[in-house]
Structure 1
Amino acid sequence: MTSFPQLSRRVFLTRTAAVGGALTVPGLLTACSRTDAGGEAAGLDKLKEQGYVRVAYANEAPYGYEEDGQLKGEAPTLHREIFQALGVAELRPAFSEWDGLIPGLQAGKYDVISAGMAITPERCAKTLFSEPEFISPTALMVEQGNPKDLTDLASAKDAGAVIGVMSGAVEKGYATGAGIADGDIRTLQKPQDGADAVKAGRVDAFLLTGISLNWLAKNNSGLEVTRSFVPEVDGVKQYSPGGAVFRQGGEEVRDAFNRELKKITSDRGRYVQLLSEYGFGEDTIPPADLRTADLCQA
């Protein structure tokens, strides 16, 4: 069996379009603010009967975000496909700050978190996760043309490259685990700082998930992103998987969701067709033996 790491954080990317902790989008949040506190998680029959499922998002592209009054991103797109297959036609969205997602789920404000949330033992103790719906392999953002010919952390070490990482993120551990000296690692506060540091020549490469870097590259000319790779720490591959999140007691809906999810992750063409516009592709499809049960006990 594959050995899987304990994850310490969610995927990093800049939050977008959130103003004052709320979204003022006509119609987007109507019928979504009522709190169904307490009680049991809604079963599949109830969701089918009412015709919708309440989903929470944190307005973080490309995982789940609002644009032009529409809920977009990896998680809503995938979850809409799955729930429609289950006979539930509509996603009714509710915005939450990231730290409020799980408390809101527990309070019954919504049925599912659709935000690309990383699967960790701490979160598993409070919720029910689907099987992984994506993994987040790592990549390097470099100057156009990749002048140092960097492909992964081993090549960065051999080239003596200076690497930028996010403050408090796991990528610093990936870099040091690959043997890159602390003096060749620069700490940055947010993704755009990393892109700016590469442009200005302060670092040779910015290390982050390929998903995040590909999204960042859309708004930063003169830069490119290397092919994604899976780093290892002490011989353990660092997949950083994420999934949908359900209330405890919602096993029936979670299990039905998983059956439809497997149909999609087992069909590479369908997966890529659904999610490619958000930067997800064949390299983000979870390995078949990557299981939530193992991740929850890591």
Structure 2
Amino acid sequence: MSEFPNLSRRGFLTRGAAVGGLLTVPGLLTACSKTASGDGGASKLDQLKKQGFVRVAYANEAPYGYEENGKLEGEAPTLHQTIFKALGVDELRPTFAEFDGLIPGLQAGKYDVISAGMAIIPERCEKALFSEPEFISPTAMMVKKGNPKNLTDLASAKKAGATVGVLAGAVEKSYATAAGFSESDIKTLQKQQDGADAVKGGRIDAFVLTGISLRWLAKTNPQVEVTDSFVPVVDGKKQYSPGGAVFRKGSEELRDAFNAQLKRITSDPAQYVQLIGQYGFGKDTIPPTSLKTADLCKA
């Protein structure tokens, strides 16, 4: 049993402006393993190698997976590029989807992999297959510059009578509810910038998200600041917010091939930081070896 039972990664979030059509990014790759398909019994990985590309979905959330100047950027695409290239697939073809439409689109066969840093939680595990964790990311809060209510975590925000904002479909709402917030004190927002704008405009006192996301967002919103990260507690269990790649049910061998390459990277801190350090990930976000998706998926 993992020493991190029931750790949940944040509900992956955001939705940005839709990017029309497929955004082809040469050099980004993906893989599968032996999921049988209609191609003469060839494995899914073999099919992807033959066609030369893998279809991935992203939700336009920096720094996890987002479009910038016609190119797919972020932690997940960059990490997945290295993994899938090692598996012999030389192109990643991404398409945008609203966050809460990512898994339905995967189930419908619109793409092969979700590259969005999605939180590994039991409800999602019932619908799709997750890789082992790619990272962990404790929670933080974005507040007005100077932190006028001296907020440090959800408990302090509740005590101060604060109103908090969360992204639609994200696990942060469950964190706020567990901390005692009523529905009226939780405002649902559609994208990250909406949260920053709500803080700046005084419509909420704090925007709750992963520290990684909020620090990235603060770069373009100088009127706000981000608290130190903290670990929310739900039903007595700490929530470390691990995230990973997502595959369709029945793609176990594809996922396993992906995991084998992922382990090579997470076992090498220098390579891990070299690959995705530019997006705010570091040695402190490398998942512990004892943190397993099988445990995270247990209700």
Specify the TM-score bucket, using the shorter chain as the normaliser: 0.7 to 0.9
Paired residues of 1:60 and 1:115 also in contact (CA < 8 A): yes
Tell me what 2:248 maps to: 247
- Distance in 1 (alpha carbons) for counterparts of 2:8 and 2:137: 14
In 2 relative to 1, CA 12–52 (structure 1 residues): closer, same or farther, beyond 3 Å? closer
Q: Secondary structure of 1:277's match? A: helix
- CA offsets per residue over residues 204-240 of structure 1, 9 Å max, x none? 4332221221232122112121222211123201123
Give the TM-score taking structure 1 as reference length.
0.78
Q: Secondary structure of 1:276's match? A: helix
Paired residues of 2:175 and 2:233 also in contact (CA < 8 A): yes
| Greater mean deviation of Cα atoms: 101-110 or 205-214 | 101-110
Tell me what 1:126 maps to: 127
Identity %: 67
Residue 5 of structure 2 aligns with an amino acid whose one-letter code is S
| Greater mean deviation of Cα atoms: 48-57 or 230-239 | 48-57
**Residues matched between the structures, number:** 283
Residue 174 of structure 1 aligns with an amino acid whose one-letter code is Y
Tell me what 2:216 maps to: 215
Measure how far apart 1:89 and its partner are. 2.4
Residues 212-291 of structure 1 aligned to structure 2 (within 5 Å): 212-291=213-292
Of residues 3, 17, 22, the one that matches 2:5 is 3
- Distance in 1 (alpha carbons) for counterparts of 2:101 and 2:226: 32
- CA offsets per residue over residues 155-181 of structure 1, 9 Å max, x none? 5466x36242227654354345446x6
Residues 158-197 of structure 1 aligned to structure 2 (within 5 Å): 160=160, 162-166=162-166, 170-175=171-176, 177-178=178-179, 182=182, 185=185, 187-190=187-190, 191-197=192-198
Residue 284 of structure 1 aligns with an amino acid whose one-letter code is T
| Greater mean deviation of Cα atoms: 66-75 or 201-210 | 201-210
Give the TM-score taking structure 2 as reference length.
0.78
Paired residues of 1:162 and 1:184 also in contact (CA < 8 A): no
Q: Secondary structure of 1:258's match? A: helix
Residues 33-182 of structure 1 aligned to structure 2 (within 5 Å): 39=38, 42-156=43-157, 160=160, 162-166=162-166, 170-175=171-176, 177-178=178-179, 182=182
Measure how far apart 1:77 and its partner are. 0.7
Residue 272 of structure 2 aligns with an amino acid whose one-letter code is Y
Residue 2 of structure 1 aligns with an amino acid whose one-letter code is F
Structure 2: gaps of 5 or more residues: 27-36
Paired residues of 2:59 and 2:97 also in contact (CA < 8 A): yes
Structure 1: gaps of 5 or more residues: 30-37
Residue 17 of structure 1 aligns with an amino acid whose one-letter code is A
Measure how far apart 1:192 and its partner are. 3.4
Measure how far apart 1:139 and its partner are. 0.4
1:18 aligns with 2:18: yes
Residue 259 of structure 1 aligns with an amino acid whose one-letter code is A
- Distance in 1 (alpha carbons) for counterparts of 2:246 and 2:91: 17
Paired residues of 2:145 and 2:223 also in contact (CA < 8 A): yes
| Greater mean deviation of Cα atoms: 72-81 or 86-95 | 86-95
Cα RMSD over matched residues? 3.3
Measure how far apart 1:186 and its partner are. 5.0
- CA offsets per residue over residues 72-128 of structure 1, 9 Å max, x none? 122111100111222322222233444543344344443322122222334333332
